[in-house]
Amino acid sequence: MTEQRHHLTPDVIRRLTVDPHPWLSCDDCFRLVDQYVELALDEGALAGEQMPAMRAHLAGCAACREEAQTLLALAAADRGLAAHELEDAERAFSS
């Protein structure tokens, strides 16, 4: 797969050094992600303060983050929110 090796770019360095605490498994992330997404729609970045293990996991697990962001968009559409209205909620998904 790796004809092109990835180097330690700033983004890779962030991925390597992001604080992984508090611990949360991928299974528990899946169990809680619907709750977190709706909290993010209600509270924006404060969702991360209320559920810090979810914030840490989504900052450190690209697959879970990718799926959570899709879920956020679907839940937002159900509320009638447009993409540009998601800025606050998306802050709960950044490290």
Partner 1 sequence: MTAISRSAGSHPAPVVEPDDWVARLSTPGPGRDAALRELHGLLLRAARYQVSRMKALVSTLGAERIDEIVNQSADEAMVALLGKLSTFEGRSRFTTWAYKFAVLHAAVEVRRHAWVGREIPLEQSAEPWSSGPTPAEYSEAAALSAAITTAIDTALTTHQRQIVIAILIDDVPIDILAERLGSSRNALYKTLHDARDALRAQLIATGHLPPAQSTGWSR
CB atoms within 10 A of CB 56: 20
Size of the site for partner 1 (CB under 8 A): 44
Specify the DSSP class assigned to residue 91: G
**In the bound complex, what is the minimum distance in angstroms from residue 60's beta carbon to partner 1?**
7
Tokens of 94: 């950044």
Residue 74 CB-density burial (10 A; 0-12 exposed, 13-18 middle, 19+ buried): exposed
List the x/- string, 15-54, binding to partner 1 by CB under 8 A: xxxxxx--x-xxx--x--xxx-xx----------------
Contact between 7 and partner 1 per CB under 8 A: yes
- By CB under 8 A, name the one of 51, 54, 58, 61 that touches partner 1: 61
Contact between 84 and partner 1 per CB under 8 A: no
